[in-house]
Amino acid sequence: MEQQFINCGYKIVENTKEADIYVINTCTVTNMAERKSRQMLRRVKELNKNSILVVCGCYAQVASKELEKIPEIDIILGTNEKNNIVKIVEEYINNKEKVERISDVSTQCEFIDFGDVTYTEKNRAVIKVQDGCNMFCTYCIIPYARGRIRSRKIESVVSEIEKIAKSGIKEVVITGIHVASYGKDFDAEGKKIRLIDLLEAINKIDGIERIRLGSLEPTLIDKEFVERLSKLEKICDHFHLSLQSGCDSVLKRMNRKYTTKQYKQATDLLRDYYPNVSFTTDVIVGFPGETNEEFEETYNFLNDVDFYRMHIFKYSQRKGTPAEKMPKQIDGNIKEQRSNRLIELSNENENKHNNSYIGKTVNVLFEEFDNGFFKGHTKNYIMVNVPGTKEQENLFVNNILSVLVEENREDTRELEGKILK
Ligand code: SF4
C-alpha cells in the first residue's frame, strides 16, 4: 500500500507525525490485536483532526460493523481492497462520502498480486507468495479474515526476486498465511505445482545467496520434499515448524492435521539431511480443557524435539471461532505458570545450543551496525556480533563473512566473535 501511494506521488511520513491521510492496516488474530488497532486509530486522528482516516485489513474484514460505530473513520476497506487503496482515497477526496468496501473473501480464488512491493527488513526481503488458509484450526480467525488459499504465480515471484537480487539484496524470506499449501489452488487449472517447485525456481536466481522459509506445517515435510530441498544450496537450515501443542488430544481439539509422531518424524528427517539445523516453533498453552497431564505431555515432547527457540502464547478466546465456545476454559494463573515453564525451557535450550558454537567458525550475513558491533545471522538463524567501527560498514553490511565464535552473551542470547582473516 505504501508503494502504491509512493507511485502516485504521495510522501510517506512516520506514523507519529502529522499527516493528511492515515492508513491503519489492522490485525485481528487476537482480541488484543483488535484493541490495539482501535487505540491506534483514535491516536492518529488526534494528530490531525482534518485528516482522512482509512482502516483496512483483517479486523476491518471481520468486524466492519464495530468499526462503523467509530465516527472518526472515513474509509473502511477489507483485505481484498488494499490494492485499490489510492483510487478509493481519491474518490473520497472528491466526494467526501464515507466509504465501506468489504468483499466476500470466501469466494476470492485468485492471489491479488500487488506487483513489486517488497518489504525489506535490513538486508532481507520478505516475499509473500500465498494468501488465505483452508485449515480452520479451532482457535484461529484467519480463514474467515483471509479466505481460501490463493497462490502467487511462480513467474511473478521469480520476476520480483530477480529485481531484488539486482538491487544487491542477498537473502529472501518466503512467507504467506499457510505456505505449506502453496500451489494447491492451481490443481483446479490442471497444474501440479507445489512449494518445492517454487523454491527450485528461486534457487536458480543469480545474486540471491540465502532462501529462508517462513512458518511451515510439518505435514509438508516428507522424504520427497526433503530430498529435493536438500539439493538447493541456498535454503537456510532453519525451519520454523508450527507445533501449537505437543499432546495429541489437544492437537485434535485444535483441529491440527498432524500427530506428535508425524511432527517428530518431520524433524528427524530434516536432521538427517541438515546436520546443523535449528528448529523454532509456536506453542499455545492453556487451550480449553488442557489438563495438567496434557500440558506435561507437551513439555516432554518439546524437550524431546530439542528446539532452538520456542514462541509461547497463552491461549486467548477469539470471538467467532469454535474454541471460544469450548467448555473448560483455563484460568489465567494456570496459563501464566505453564507459559513461564515453557519460556524457561526455551531459554535453556537456546543457551545450550549457543554454547555449542563456541570455538566454531560460522558464516554470517551482516545486516547492520549497532552500538559498536556489526550484527548478522548465520544460515540457521543465530545472531552473531562482531566488534567494529562505523567506517567499516562497507566491509561488513550485506556481506557474508566467516566468524570465529568466542562467546555466548547469556543476557541477550546472541553470539560474539571475530572475523577470520
Ligand atoms: S493453519 Fe490454522 S493457525 Fe494457521 S492460519 Fe490456518 S487456521 Fe490459522
Q: Is 35 exposed, middle or buried (0-12, 13-18, 19+ CB in 10 A)?
A: exposed
Nearest CA to ligand 1 atom 1: 135
Under DSSP, the state recorded for 122 is T
Of all residues in the chain, the percent with pLDDT exceeding 70 is: 97
Mean pLDDT of the region 298-306: 97
The rounded distance, in Å, linking the Cα atoms of 108 and 177 is: 15
Kindly report, residue by residue over 28-75, the tens digit of the pLDDT.
Answer: 888 888 888 888 888 888 888 889 999 998 888 888 888 888 888 999
In the block, residue with C-alpha cell 542477498: 170
Which of 301 and 189 is assigned the larger pLDDT? Answer: 301
Query: CATH topology of 119-355 equal to that of 361-419?
Result: no
Ligand 1 neighbour 177 (Cβ under 6 A): yes
Cα–Cα distance measured from residue 146 to residue 143, given in angstroms and rounded to the nearest whole number: 5
Q: Which atom of ligand 1 is nearest to the CA of 244?
A: 3
- Confirm or reject CATH 3.60.20.10 for domain 2-103, answering yes or no: no
Atom of ligand 1 nearest to the CA of 143: 7
Examine the pLDDT at 263 and tell me if it is beyond 90.
yes
Burial readout 337-372 (b: 16 or more C-beta within 10 A, e: otherwise):
ebbebbeebbeebbeebbeebeeeebebbbbebeee
Q: Measure 60 CA to ligand 1 centroid, in angstroms.
A: 19
Query: 119-355: which CATH topology?
Result: pyruvate-formate lyase- activating enzyme (3.80.30)
pTM above 0.85, yes or no: yes
179 lines ligand 1 (CB under 6 A): no
Please give the C-alpha separations between residue 56 and each of 83, 149, 233, 381, in angstroms, as whole numbers: 11, 20, 39, 33
Over residues 147-159, mean pLDDT:
93
Average pLDDT (214-220) is 92
Q: What is the pLDDT confidence band of residue 410, given thresholds at 50, 70 and 90?
A: confident
Q: Which residues of 245-284 are buried (b: 16+ CB within 10 A; e: fewer)?
A: bbbbebbebbebebebeebebbbebbeeebeebbbbbebb
The CATH homologous superfamily for domain 361-419 is Nucleic acid-binding proteins (2.40.50.140)
* Pocket flag, ligand 1, residue 251 (CB < 6 Å): no
The domain limits of the chain are: 2-103, 119-355, 361-419
| Average pLDDT rounded to a whole number, residues 408-420 | 88
Is 133 close to ligand 1, i.e. is its CB under 6 Å away? yes
